[in-house]
Amino acid sequence: MTAVGVVGFAAATAEPGDGRNDAELLAPLVSRALGDSGLAPDQIDVLGTAGSEFLGGVVGGVMGAFDAFPGWPPRTHSHLEGDGAFALYESWVRLLAGEGRAALVCAFSRPLAEDRRSVLELQHDPYTVAPLGPSAAALAALQARALIDSGRASEDDLARIVAARRPATDLATLAGQPYVASPLRALDCSTIVSGAAAVVLATEEWTGAARRPPAWITGAAHRMERRYLGARDLTSSPSTARVAGDLGIAGSDIDVLEIHAPFSHQELIIAGAVGARRIGRINPSGGALPADPVMATGLIRIGWAADAVMTGEAVRAVGHATNGPCLQHNLLVLMEAGDG
Amino acid sequence: MSADDSARRGTGPGDDSPARAPLRAPHQLALSYRRSLGRAERTFLSGLARRQIWGSRDVDGRVSVPPVDWDPETGAPSAGFVPVDERGRVDTWTWVPDPAPASPLGRPHAVALIRLNGANTSLLHLVDVDHPELMSRGMAVKADWADPSVGGIRDIRAFVPDDSGSSGDPGEATSRSAAGPGPVPADGHTGDVDHVISEVGIGYAFEPGWTLSAFLHSLAARRIVGGCCPGCAGVYVPPRPRCPACGGEPMQPRDLPGTGTVTAYTVVHIPFPGLTIDLPFTWAWIRLDGASVPFAHLLGGSGADPGLGDGAGQQVRVGLRVEPVWVDDADLAPTWESIRYFRPIGPPGAEPGDDGSGSQ
C-alpha cells in the first residue's frame, strides 16, 4: 500500500466580524499550504472540504468557499458537513484507494450567529433533548461534574488546563469567576472565532517537491458513541480508547498530542483515553480553548501535530478531533517522521 | 496564529470606489420540521401523554430510557418495552443561572441526568429547584407532570425533589398512571403520538465578505464593477476573491457598461415562500458585455409593472440584448435591488451574435 504524508499546512483564526467571507479567509491559506507542498494546483486530484452552513446561516453559503481554489481541471470533490478533520480522514482513504496522488483538505468557519455556540445545539436529539433547551455548555458541564464526582479530576485540575491554554490567565482570577454551567466557568469553554485551515496530503511519489520532510500518516481511525448521553460513560472516552488501541498508540511513546477539547475537562478525558506511555507535549499549539473556529478546529489540531513532525520537533505525533455533544465522536491521526 | 491579511489585496473596486466597508445585515434562519417517529420514540412519547415513562429492555434485561429499537452496540432488536418508575436519583447535574429565552422553565434551573428506578441508563431532563445548593449527586427526584400532556418530552414539566423516601430502589419499576386510559401494552404499538414538531430559529449578522461588499457598494453608485483575472483575463460579475478558473490573483476591478445578452431564462408563474414581487416574472441569466460568466436577474418587471409588454416572456429569447433599469437616486443602496430589472434594447428581432460583444 502506498504511503501518504502531510506535506503542507496553514491555518488562521480571526475575530468574527472582520468582514471576510469563507473564500477570503481560506484563499491565502490554500496558497501557503500548496507552496509548502511544492505541488501545483492541477496536481491536486482530490479536494476535501468541510464546514457547516448553520454557522453562517445562509443556505448554499459554503459554495462560495470553493472559489478559494481553482475549479479546473475537474477533480474529485467531497464536501462534509462537519469538522475538516473528518474530511482529512476521507481524503486519506481516497488516496490509499488509488483515487489520486495528492489531496487538498480545507475547512472554514464563520460563526455569525448572535449566540455563537447556539449552532451546536442543532446537534441535539430533536425528540427528547432539544425541546428542553440545554446549551452545549450545559451538556459539557454534566460531563465535567461526572468526571469530578468520579474522583479522577478536580475543579483545580480544570483551572490548571485553562491557565495552561489561555496565556495571561492565573488560577486565582479563575477561581473567582462565576459558573456559566457549574462546574464550568466561561474560560473553561472555548472562545469561538472565525478561522480556516488547509492541509495538503501526498502519496510517496509526489512528496519530493515538499519544502519540509513529510509527516507520514501511519494510522487514522474514528469511532462514534451512543446518541443518548445517559447511556454513555461520560467520564471516559471509550471510542478514543478503542482507536488508540487499534492504532498502537496506547502504551507507546508520542512526542506531541494535539487534543481537540472545546471544554477544559475534555482535554483530561482524551489524554487519559489515548493511554500513551509517555506524552512529550500536549497542545503546544495552544489547543482549542483560546480559539475555536467550529468545524475547522479539529483539522487545525491535526495540522499542528503534522507540523511538529515536519519541523523535526516530533518524531511521532498524534492529532485528535471530535464531533458531537460531550466527545461523542472521536478521530485520531498518527503521524511519524521517516522514509514513508 | 493570527489573521492573515493577504486576502484584502486586489479585492474590491478601485480607489475611487464610494465605500469599502464590509457589509453586514441581520438574517434570521427559521426551520420547522414535522418529524415522524420510530417505534421506540412513539412508545416513549405516547407513554408520556399518559403520564407513564417507558423504556426498552435488551436481551440481557438491561433497560434503556429513553427506549431504543436496536441495541446501539450489538444491533440486536430490543426485547420489548417496559414501564419504569417516575422517581429516581440524580446521576450528574449542572446549574443554568442564565437560561435562554426559549428555555421551558424561564428561570434558573438544573439540567441533570436522572437514573429512574428500573432503568439502567439515565434520562436527560430539568430539575426545578430554587438554588444550586439544593442539588447533589444521588438526590431523590420525581417527575412533575405538565397539564395538559401532549406527547412530548416537556410533558414532564421538570423533575422536583422527592421526599417520599421511595426513590432509589434499583429494580423497582412501578408505572405511575395518574391519568390517562391505562397502561400501554408491552409491545408499545398502541402509541398514538406519531410525530413531533421541531422548530429551529437562529439570528445571525451575515457578512458577504470584502469582495462582494465592494461590488454591492458599486451598485449603490450606479456602477457595475466586476473583477478581472490577471492570469487568464476572465471577468467575473459579481467579482470573486480569486479567479475561480485558474486561481489567479489579485483580481483587478473592471467597470462594465451594464449592457448585456440573455443566455437563458425562465418565466415564473407560481408563488414560493419569500416571494416579494408580483407574478408572473421572468428570471434570466444575463452575461454583461465584457464579462466571462452570466448572473441571474429579473428581465422586465413583474405583475402589473412588467416592462416587457405582457410580462410573460413573450419577447424574451436567448440572445436578447438588454440594459439595466436602475432605481431612483434616492433609493440606491448596496444591493442587487438597485437594479430594478433588465430591459430589452436595440432593434426588435436582433439575432444572437449581433451584440458585438464577441464570444468569450
Confidence at residue A248, expressed as pLDDT on a 0 to 100 scale: 98
Looking at A268-315, which runs of residues are DSSP E strands? Answer: 278-282
Rounded alpha-carbon distances, angstroms, from residue B249 to A282, B8, B21, B208, B252: 38, 11, 21, 19, 8
Predicted ipTM of the assembly: 0.94
Burial class (CB in 10 A: 0-12, 13-18, 19+), A83: buried
Contact by Cβ (8 Å): A231, B72? yes
Inter-chain residue contact A19 with B213, CB threshold 8 Å: yes
User: Sorting pLDDT into bands at 50, 70 and 90, what band is B189?
Assistant: very low
Residues of chain B found within 8 Å of residue A230, distances taken between Cβ atoms:
65, 91, 113-115, 121-124
Confidence at residue B345, expressed as pLDDT on a 0 to 100 scale: 83
Chain A residue with CA closest to B6: the answer is A28
Dihedral sign of CA atoms A302, A231, A116, A87 in order: positive
Chain B residues 89-108 within an 8 A CB cutoff of chain A: 91-100, 102-104
Q: Which of B171, B66, B172 is nearest to B114 (CA)?
A: B66
Partners of A335 in the β-ladder: A217, A317
Inter-chain residue contact A57 with B202, CB threshold 8 Å: yes
Q: What is the mean pLDDT of chain A?
A: 95
Residues of chain B found within 8 Å of residue A34, distances taken between Cβ atoms:
none
Partners of A10 in the β-ladder: A198
Rounded alpha-carbon distances, angstroms, from residue A3 to A41, A74, A315, A331, A334: 21, 24, 16, 19, 13
Inter-chain residue contact B132 with A182, CB threshold 8 Å: yes
pLDDT at B188 over 70: no
User: Sorting pLDDT into bands at 50, 70 and 90, what band is B308?
Assistant: low
- % of chain B with per-residue pLDDT over 70: 79
Inter-chain residue contact A24 with B7, CB threshold 8 Å: yes
Over residues B220-249, the mean pLDDT reads: 95
Which pairs with CB-CB distance under 8 Å and at least 24 residues apart come from A15-19? A15/A193, A15/A194, A15/B3, A16/A110, A16/A111, A16/A112, A16/A116, A16/A192, A16/A193, A16/A194, A17/B24, A17/B205, A17/B207, A18/A194, A18/B3, A18/B22, A19/B21, A19/B22, A19/B24, A19/B207, A19/B209, A19/B210, A19/B213
Dihedral sign of CA atoms B98, B100, B104, B106 in order: positive
Q: Which of A259, A340, A251 is nearest to A297 (CA)?
A: A259
Burial class (CB in 10 A: 0-12, 13-18, 19+), B198: middle
Q: Which of B241, B212, B245 is nearest to A25 (CA)?
A: B241
Inter-chain residue contact A133 with B99, CB threshold 8 Å: yes
pLDDT at B178 over 90: no
Chain A residues 194-253 within an 8 A CB cutoff of chain B: 195, 226-231, 234
Residues of chain A found within 8 Å of residue B208, distances taken between Cβ atoms:
21
DSSP string over B133-166: GG--TT-EEEEEE-SS--SSGGGEEEEEE--SS-
Q: Which of B127, B185, B187, B184 is nearest to B160 (CA)?
A: B127
Contact by Cβ (8 Å): A87, A29? no
Residues of chain B found within 8 Å of residue A226, distances taken between Cβ atoms:
72-73
Rounded alpha-carbon distances, angstroms, from residue A259 to A108, A267, A293, A304, B135: 19, 6, 14, 10, 32
- Cβ of residue B29 closer than 8 Å to a chain A Cβ: yes
Instruction: Summarize pLDDT for B28-68 with one digit per residue, the tens.
Output: 998 889 999 999 999 999 999 999 999 999 999 999 999 99
Contact by Cβ (8 Å): A236, A326? no
Q: Which of A163, A191, A189, A161 is nearest to A272 (CA)?
A: A161
Residues of chain A found within 8 Å of residue B102, distances taken between Cβ atoms:
133
The whole-angstrom separation of Cα A139 and Cα A327 is 11
Instruction: Summarize pLDDT for B102-119 with one digit per residue, the tens.
Output: 789 999 999 999 999 999
Element (H, E) at A51: strand A46-51
Q: What one-character DSSP code corresponds to residue B316?
A: -
Inter-chain residue contact A21 with B113, CB threshold 8 Å: no
466561561: which residue's cell?
Answer: A186
Inter-chain residue contact B247 with A70, CB threshold 8 Å: yes
Instruction: Summarize pLDDT for A69-91 with one digit per residue, the tens.
Output: 988 888 999 999 999 999 999 99
Residue B209's region, left for phi above 0, alpha for psi from -120 to 50, else beta, is left
Q: Which of B4, B16, B18 is nearest to B241 (CA)?
A: B4
pLDDT means over runs of 10, chain A (340 residues): 94 88 94 97 95 88 82 89 97 97 96 90 92 95 98 96 92 89 97 97 96 98 94 96 98 98 98 98 97 97 98 98 97 93
Pick from A52, A145, A294 the residue to mutate for testing the B interface (most B CBs within 10 Å).
A145
Chain A residues 276-305 within an 8 A CB cutoff of chain B: 291
The whole-angstrom separation of Cα A47 and Cα A69 is 9
Q: In chain B, what's the furthest Cα-to-Cα distance? A: 92
Amino acid (one-letter) located at A177: Q
Alpha-carbon distance A25 to nearest alpha carbon in chain B (angstroms): 7
Inter-chain residue contact B97 with A178, CB threshold 8 Å: yes
Residues of chain A found within 8 Å of residue B95, distances taken between Cβ atoms:
179, 181-182
Nearest to A142 among B4, B94, B200 (CB): B94
Burial class (CB in 10 A: 0-12, 13-18, 19+), A297: buried
H-type alpha helices, chain B = 39-49, 210-219
The whole-angstrom separation of Cα B40 and Cα B48 is 12
Nearest to B96 among A119, A145, A181 (CB): A181
Residues of chain A found within 8 Å of residue B22, distances taken between Cβ atoms:
18-20
Instruction: Summarize pLDDT for B323-344 with one digit per residue, the tens.
Output: 999 999 999 999 999 999 999 8
- Cβ of residue A112 closer than 8 Å to a chain B Cβ: yes
Chain A residue with CA closest to B238: the answer is A64
User: Sorting pLDDT into bands at 50, 70 and 90, what band is B12?
Assistant: very low
Q: What is the mean pLDDT of chain B?
A: 83
Amino acid (one-letter) located at B288: L
The whole-angstrom separation of Cα A48 and Cα A87 is 5
- Assign B226 to helix, strand or coil: strand
